[in-house]
Amino acid sequence: MILHNKVDKEVLKCRLHEESFNRITLSFYRFIEIVDPQIFRDELFIQLSEMLIFGRIYVATEGINAQISVPEHQLEYFRKYVNNHPFLQGIFLNQAIEETGKSFYKLKILVKHKILSDGLINSDFNIYNVGQHLDAVTYNEILGQPNTIVIDLRNNYEHEVGHFDGALLPDVDTYKESIPVIIRMLEEKNPDNIMLYCTGGIRCEKFSSYLHHKGFKNVFQLKGGVINYAHQIKQLRIESKFIGKNFVFDDRMGERVTDDIIAHCHQCGDPADHHVNCANNACHLLFIQCEKCANIFNKCCSFECMDHISLPEETQKQLRKGKVHPNAHHKGKLIKAN
């Protein structure tokens, strides 16, 4: 059996849109010792493929990090599989806030050095000594206590479109880059309570244990991250302290939590919070674009890129062959002059 996808992505996308059933987007993670992640990876690929599950999963000796799209009619079977697996038993399955059924179009499972690129050395501290997990109600209550700091562990392009009111928002491109920045902030402020949050919880899980290692007390984390928080505030009909949109790492690019639009189009400055990738494949810059600018720039980040995609495909390929575009290593930062 071939343990990876070999079908062209456009074909896969067409098949996805032709499906006659609904899908449910889930995410989950666990830090757990996996002696042979390759064996686990291959077993996982076989089992999930049989259930027609798509998604992106990272497996390493430190655990698993997954975002998947499950056919609705396979959901209970998948839950049973999870509950019976020694690495996955009791894992918290986080369901998407908004469901389009089009979050993923193929299954990709990779064995990585780590499931979270944090630059930390796990043997230096106890990664299982994590902060206290809080539900939405308790999280909101502690947010209002004096000398309390709430920290967004996501990158700048994520918290630009949505964040907790009053949160510290490190201006960083990566989680790894944020760690020393946040440590310096906390050492300067010396808060009584440290409140952490991220998209689904995994970044808080590792960072809270690192904060304990660094001597910080009263470290709290939002159980299930913003995704689970959004479900709880709707179910319980309580005030959302998170405003705007929750960025997600799949084809949807974001999920609406509140109606507030707190970001702006990177091209004209009008209110907007819709992330896109530049239509020029040589650029592929992730940025925020309003509908007006999408029409003006033909879904590109600049006139230069717009001119590029008007060329024949073969010409485009030749022009980008062996070249690195200036935007290739940037996310959410429009660095070109239009």
CA atoms of 66 and 336, how far apart (whole Å): 34
Residue pair 27/68 in contact by the 8 Å Cβ criterion: yes
Residue pair 319/282 in contact by the 8 Å Cβ criterion: yes
CA distances from 45 to 34, 109, 125, 165 (A): 16, 7, 32, 40
Q: Which of 14, 198, 268, 305 is catalytic?
A: 198
Q: Which residues contact 50 (CB under 8 A, 6 or more apart)?
A: none
Tokens 């430190």 belong to: 62
End-to-end Cα separation, the chain, in angstroms: 49
24 pairs with which residues across the strands?
70
CA atoms of 213 and 198, how far apart (whole Å): 20
What the block records as the tokens of 2 is 């071939």
Tokens 């006139």 belong to: 303
78 pairs with which residues across the strands?
none
In 153-200, the DSSP E strands lie at 162-164, 193-197
Residue pair 305/278 in contact by the 8 Å Cβ criterion: yes
Q: Is 204 a known active-site residue?
A: no
Give the 3-state secondary structure of residue 115.
coil
Residues tagged active-site: 198
